[in-house]
A and B are shown apart, each in its own frame.
Chain A
């Protein structure tokens, strides 16, 4: 089932990795008070919208969609930012302030939102064939499930931003993202050209609602 196009509502498209929207977003975050225990989850979640989007479409294509992502995965992401296993200048200090129950609640909150349709085209047949071959070698769908829909602590990557996917896979390769050595191992066994094909292919897949 395809989701309605919510992208138009944003009216801003930023493609550069460090465009003006990014700085405005950071400024917004820095000006906001750190989440406090008294805040409701909705209030805490407001902070996330600055980068991840008011309606689920992130400001930057290298920022992941978190609306409709799995609770277990989102919780692990926050946990890893807090522990320092994963590092990001914006996310790490934010996660530091969160207790486990806050992380679980935030993860639940976003998991219950609708995954947005980013309107990314399906990969052309030659790219798809390359991606399918790469999956045949290292077995992405063993964890990310059929049609790359994810489950539990395995993220949905179907319909995620192509730029984010490609950057993430490359970051695993260089260990710039160091919180999943298993992914690092698999990405080291996958060529950069295959990674590019996988990113394009996965980005062009549709969100399939669970049962």
Chain B
């Protein structure tokens, strides 16, 4: 996960939600003054069949990343490259929380679910923006998180809405009322665990990972029974033998300058560091329905910059991992960076798409956009790497080891591609990723595990005198070549949506929300939202009209201007 560094300071007043000082209150559901929900707007049950078919459902947006393959490619095509210039705001909803927004709006038959920082949920009429219900999770006194009180959204299944909270709880809400149905503790926040990701629900299971790579946690993915919150299985992302193969090169073949002998000596002295090795999973897994397997990426080892305390490859940090959905058992993995000391971990959610293998044959593949600035293309069968793309941002001095004084290396620790989900247009064979260029120095300081406290093992420091910028890059994943690239004045973070209308949508920290031509990157339309657009957009159709919706709430990590708006657009 990315630690703490920001581009600029002092956004507008940061509205801090009440943080649950009243432990006795079990929940609070505010039914705001509003006309009674129309019968047609009673939230519908979401069947497994609907969830499976999401990729061809032009009316709804049922998963955080569109469908189980996480392509974020939506079939609605009413808004297209030739008419997108006529896109206008249809409605704006303002939440009660003016703080960093990373929510992916979920839309089910005209009802939209969005979340805000501090794990709050709104159900809205997707056609009008009218509020249907509001759920405010009473957070416990202990919340431990490095990079903002973010929440990336809910999952829907059957008659429930699922939320994971900043104080590491999993909550099921009644989709019709917002009332809590059940709640379960995922992990102890005092030990550094927290939740910002949206859950994934599949075949009666709620899948959830954890944050905490900056706090010496031991990461996991857990599956809970969607009906009652009972724990079904746990996969520890850090195995008890985390040493691996003493890899000297990264997945692209570059020497990581490890001192293997020193690591082996340390291992003999202190043993396997698996208990505090980090390895958070804080982005949704992709689900391969055909093989009943899930694919997710695992974050950085703890402490971020100090490798001296954690000898070995630090499996399965900085890796793509696949598990069996029913049992949570390991199937395969590929580690991008063994023994990472730069926090250049794997965070952007993986995407399942058919790809050309080295011989040109079309096979089931997996894509992941790395903080390194490469799009990695894998064989889904065994996680092996087929190719990696051209670097989407400048890379310099890789892999220079962190020093006590601070060593400059590019990319900076936020990437490349941060958590921002890519979108894929399978018709064009292109993946769209948003990137950061933030020159940093990497500084190492060794200190023992502080027990659930921030544990970086040094500092990443933005070099104030160097220019920062971002870009959106289209990569041909069948060749690894960059097809087009558009530079932006600030580093980019948020997420991308592609549609069958040949349009790609994403936002910028300066408030711009843009539509690009999927084929060539031409900017077709721009709207200024007045606060950072740093959340992934969604799209849906209701009443015969296609809408594109995005949150404009800014970003803590890069200190982009905060806001509290959900904005839906339609053709005028």
Bound pair (A, B): yes
| Bound: A12/B406 CA distance, A | 46
Residue B143, interface by CB 8 Å: yes
| Bound: A108/B14 CA distance, A | 23
Interface digits, A126-166 against B, CB 8 Å rule (1 contact, 0 not)?
Answer: 00000111011111111101110101110000000000000
Interface digits, B1-39 against A, CB 8 Å rule (1 contact, 0 not)?
Answer: 001111111111111111101000000000000000000
Residue B338, interface by CB 8 Å: no
* Contacts A153-B144, A211-B15, A211-B16 given; does A142 touch B7 at CB 8 Å: no
Residue A81, interface by CB 8 Å: no
Report B-chain residues with C-beta under 8 Å of the C-beta of A142: 3-6, 146-148, 556-557
Residue A182, interface by CB 8 Å: yes
Report B-chain residues with C-beta under 8 Å of the C-beta of A132: 8-10
| Bound: A33/B461 CA distance, A | 48
Report A-chain residues with C-beta under 8 Å of the C-beta of B69: none
Binds A, one of B42-50, B340-348, B451-459, B499-507: B451-459
Q: Are B450 and A180 in contact (CB under 8 A)?
A: yes
The number of chain B residues with a CB under 8 A from chain A is: 56
Q: Are B3 and A139 in contact (CB under 8 A)?
A: yes
Interface digits, B528-569 against A, CB 8 Å rule (1 contact, 0 not)?
Answer: 000000000000000000000000000011010010000000
Residue B139, interface by CB 8 Å: yes
| Bound: A180/B10 CA distance, A | 25
Report B-chain residues with C-beta under 8 Å of the C-beta of A136: 5-9, 462, 464, 559
Q: Are A141 and B450 in contact (CB under 8 A)?
A: no
B138 CB to nearest A CB, Å: 13
Q: Are A146 and B14 in contact (CB under 8 A)?
A: yes
Report B-chain residues with C-beta under 8 Å of the C-beta of A108: 21, 141
Interface digits, B378-421 against A, CB 8 Å rule (1 contact, 0 not)?
Answer: 00000000000000000000000000001000000000000000
* Contacts A143-B4, A181-B447, A211-B16 given; does A152 touch B139 at CB 8 Å: yes
B68 CB to nearest A CB, Å: 32
Q: Are A138 and B21 in contact (CB under 8 A)?
A: no
Residue B97, interface by CB 8 Å: yes
Which listed residue, B15, B451, B462, B464, touches A210 by the CB 8 Å rule? B15
Q: Are A104 and B458 in contact (CB under 8 A)?
A: no
Q: Are A211 and B142 in contact (CB under 8 A)?
A: no
Q: Are A185 and B96 in contact (CB under 8 A)?
A: no
Q: Are A185 and B447 in contact (CB under 8 A)?
A: yes
Q: Which of chain B's residues has its CB closest to A83's CB?
A: B451
Q: Are A151 and B143 in contact (CB under 8 A)?
A: yes
Report A-chain residues with C-beta under 8 Å of the C-beta of B97: 211
A80 CB to nearest B CB, Å: 9
Secondary structure type dominating chain A contacts: helix
Q: Which of chain A's residues has its CB closest to B9's CB?
A: A132
Report B-chain residues with C-beta under 8 Å of the C-beta of A72: 19, 140-143
Report A-chain residues with C-beta under 8 Å of the C-beta of B454: 143, 180-183
* Contacts A108-B141, A146-B99 given; does A181 touch B19 at CB 8 Å: no
| Bound: A183/B450 CA distance, A | 11
Q: Which of chain A's residues has its CB closest to B562's CB?
A: A146
Which listed residue, B3, B5, B556, touches A145 by the CB 8 Å rule? B556
| Bound: A145/B445 CA distance, A | 25
Interface digits, B436-455 against A, CB 8 Å rule (1 contact, 0 not)?
Answer: 00000001010110110111
Which listed residue, B10, B15, B141, touches A75 by the CB 8 Å rule? B141
A203 CB to nearest B CB, Å: 15
Q: Are A147 and B14 in contact (CB under 8 A)?
A: yes
Q: Are B450 and A139 in contact (CB under 8 A)?
A: no
Residue B318, interface by CB 8 Å: no
Residue B214, interface by CB 8 Å: yes
| Bound: A182/B99 CA distance, A | 24
Report B-chain residues with C-beta under 8 Å of the C-beta of A182: 214, 450, 453-456
Residue B149, interface by CB 8 Å: yes
A-B contact list, 5 entries, CB within 8 Å: A72-B19, A142-B4, A179-B453, A186-B456, A211-B16
Partner-B contacts on A (CB < 8 A): 70-72, 75-76, 85, 104, 107-108, 111-112, 131-133, 135-143, 145-147, 149, 151-153, 179-186, 188-189, 208, 210-211
Given A152-B19, A189-B459, 17 other A-B residues pairs in contact with their CB atoms under 8 A? A70-B141, A132-B9, A135-B559, A138-B461, A139-B6, A141-B6, A142-B556, A145-B149, A149-B14, A181-B454, A185-B447, A186-B4, A186-B459, A188-B443, A188-B445, A189-B406, A210-B16
A-B CB proximity, top 9 nearest: A146-B14, A182-B454, A142-B4, A181-B447, A152-B143, A139-B5, A139-B4, A189-B459, A132-B9
